[in-house]
Structure 1
Amino acid sequence: MNVIDVHAHIYPEKIADRAVGAVGDFYLVDMYGEGTAAHLLDSQERSPITHFVVHSVATKPSAVASINDFIAEQCREHPEFIGFMAMHQDLENPEAEIERALDLGLVGIKLHPDTQKVNMDDPRLMRIYEMIAGRLPLIVHTGDYRTDFSHPRRLKNILHTFPNLVVDAAHFGGWSIPEIGYDVLHDENVFIDVSSSMPFLGNRRTRELVNLWGVDRVMFGSDFPMWDPAREFDTFTSLGFSDDELEKMLWKNAERFLGAPVSE
């Protein structure tokens, strides 16, 4: 069986320390990983994880192309990686970069409204959603009690405007506000992942939320380098789900989200 971690960040070695430090400062957590592809792959040796959806976030438009080049290069070097492109709301020609990223072999888009300092349903992003609806899946950081950029209600607006958009509302649909995420989004056509959630929620609440959302749309994710994917896998698979339920959440749902089979 494949095991797909749908939420992992990687950075070039020359900036990895700085990038990981910035993320740790933003979330006020001690980071697990070095943020490099090599350290991510180390976790594969300690777990049954077979594939990682890898991405990075562009905090300025000038970084978009270089990030996409880096992610595509890492995917060519490591068949375990499935690459998502970066995008920024102020990029001058997003359509051209989307086409270029597709040519590079990238298969989706990752956005982080809080670190990109933009409302998730800002008109600049809405035009990007229009470009990718029915073509590319979207992973979007959702929910932060400190800001309104990524509030789940904004995603609800997006989903109603673009019903063909395939979305992973990361972190149970509401990082640090998972109950609000569920209340706002549970009746929408949306996937969620469990990344950066279990260490805060604990085992019992994690299982309760998975059951509320339903195992047909929950996906496993670690949010490396914040957390150790191998340890997150061990925790998730210890929660008492059946083999059939785990097969959906560790593999089959991710394939449906990606819109393509992932070879074993």
Structure 2
Amino acid sequence: MTVVDAHVHVYPEKIALRAAESVGDFYQYPMFKEGSIPAMLAAVEGSPITHHIIYSVATKPSNVESINDFIAAECKKHPNFVGFMAMHQDYPNPEAEIERAIGLGLRGMKLHPDTQKVNMDDDRLMRIYELIEGRMPLVMHCGDYRTDFSHPRRMKRILHEFPNLVVDAAHFGGWSVFDLAVEYLENENCFLDMSSSQKFLGRRRTRELCEIYGADRILFGSDFPMWNPSEEFEMFESLDFSKADFEKMTWHNAERFIGMDIR
């Protein structure tokens, strides 16, 4: 059995506790764990989760290269990790860093407009989407009732301007504004991971959103270290999808998203 956790934040051990606390403060919600690799691996031990798409967010341009080096190094240590690069809207030479990240073996990019304090359709980021369109997939945090940076309407604009950009509109396309996201993204060409949603939505609405968007578009994700990956998987498994649909959402869609077989 192969199960891919498509939404995993990780940090170097020396800053993992501080980083997780900072994220918890931002969301006003306690973290499940400090966000180190050992803590993540311990959290999934004994669970069906076999593979992890890992990344971290650059809140400053100066963090981009060190994050990418860290993620690439961890992927070399762990063959079941798939690493995504960090980028920041004010990084001075995104073309060069994208090329370097590809050379390091990183497979995609992660952005978080709310913590990076930038509209996701800002011209600085639109330039970056142009650079990666057709070359690497993008995980984009979407939705926050407190801000407008990652509003689903902005995601819809991006998808229309870059039709060949492969995107995971994270958190069902609209964390904390899940129903609003449906209005903008129900019929768009993107994946949507379901991380950081189940305990807010409950069983019935989680399943309904999977059905609204369709099993071909949903990615299982835990949003570690915010949540316990094993518990997130157990809750998702309990929704009683067909075997074929469940394998799409926990495995095959991730393969399509990153453009590689996962075994």
Range into which the TM-score falls when normalised by the shorter chain: over 0.9
Q: Which residue of 2 aligns with 1:140?
A: 140
Indicate if the aligned counterparts of 2:109 and 2:136 stay in contact, CA closer than 8 A: yes
Q: 1:214 and 1:207 mapped to 2: Cα distance? A: 10
Gaps of 5+ in 2: none
Question: Retained in 1: the 8 A contact 2:21–2:34?
Answer: no
Alpha-carbon shift at residue 108 of structure 1 (Å):
0.1
Map 1:38-49 to 2 at 5 A.
38-49=38-49
CA-to-aligned-CA distance 1:63-90 (integer Å, 9 cap, x gap): 0000000000111111121000000000
- Structure 1 residue aligned with 2:240: 240
TM-score (norm 1): 0.99
Q: What is the number of equivalent residue pairs in this alignment?
A: 263
The structural deviation recorded for 1:221 is 0.1
Give the corresponding residue for 1:186.
186
CA distance in 2, matches of 1:207, 1:152: 20
Q: In structure 2, what is the Cα distance between the partners aligned to 1:2 and 1:132?
A: 28
In the TM superposition, residue 26 of structure 1 has moved relative to its aligned partner by 0.5
Query: Could you list the per-position Cα deviations for residues 222-257 of structure 1 after superposition, in whole angstroms to 9, with x for gaps in the alignment?
Result: 000000000100000000111111110000111111
The C-alpha deviation readout for 1:33-88, integer Å capped at 9, x for no partner, is 11000111112313111100000000000000000000001111111210000000
Residue 65 of structure 2 aligns with which residue? Answer: 65
Residue aligning to 1:207: 207
Partner SS, residue 144 of structure 1: coil
2:163 is matched with which residue?
Answer: 163
Output one character per residue of 1:71-116: Cα deviation in whole Å (capped at 9) or x when no partner. Answer: 0011111112100000000000000000000011100000000000
Matches of 1:213 and 1:51, distance apart in 2: 24
Instruction: Name 2:33's counterpart in structure 1.
Output: 33
RMSD across aligned positions (CA): 0.7
Deviations 1:157-186, CA, capped at 9 Å, x for gaps: 111111000000000000000111111011
Q: CA deviation at 1:118?
A: 0.2
- Give 2:245's aligned amino acid: E
Deviations 1:4-53 (A, max 9, x none): 00000000011111100000000011110110001111123131111000
Structure 1 equivalent of residue 55 of structure 2: 55
Equivalent in the alignment of 1:74: 74
Q: Tell me the TM-score normalised to structure 2 length.
A: 0.99
* Structure-2 separation of matches of 1:143 and 1:153: 10
1:10 aligns with 2:1: no
Q: Which residue of 2 aligns with 1:101?
A: 101
**What is the distance in 1 between the residues matched to 2:233 and 2:200?**
15
CA distance in 2, matches of 1:79, 1:210: 29
- 2:67 is paired with a residue whose SS is helix
Could you tell me which runs of 5 or more consecutive residues in structure 1 were left unpaired when the two chains were aligned.
none
Does structure 1 conserve the Cα–Cα contact (< 8 Å) formed by 2:138 and 2:166?
A: yes
Q: Secondary structure at the match of 1:84?
A: strand
Cα distance in 1 between the residues matched to 2:189 and 2:78: 32
Structure 1 residue runs of 4 or more that deviate by more than 4 Å after TM superposition? none
Q: Is the 8 A contact 2:72 2:105 kept in 1?
A: yes
Please give the per-residue CA displacement for 1:95-148, whole angstroms capped at 9, x wherever unaligned: 000000001110000000000000000000000000000110000000100000
Residue 239 of structure 2 aligns to a residue whose secondary structure is coil
Aligned runs of 1:81-120 on 2, under 5 Å? 81-120=81-120
Tell me, what secondary structure is at the counterpart of 2:222? coil
The whole-number CA distance in structure 1 between the counterparts of 2:207 and 2:46 is 24
CA distance in 2, matches of 1:91, 1:225: 26
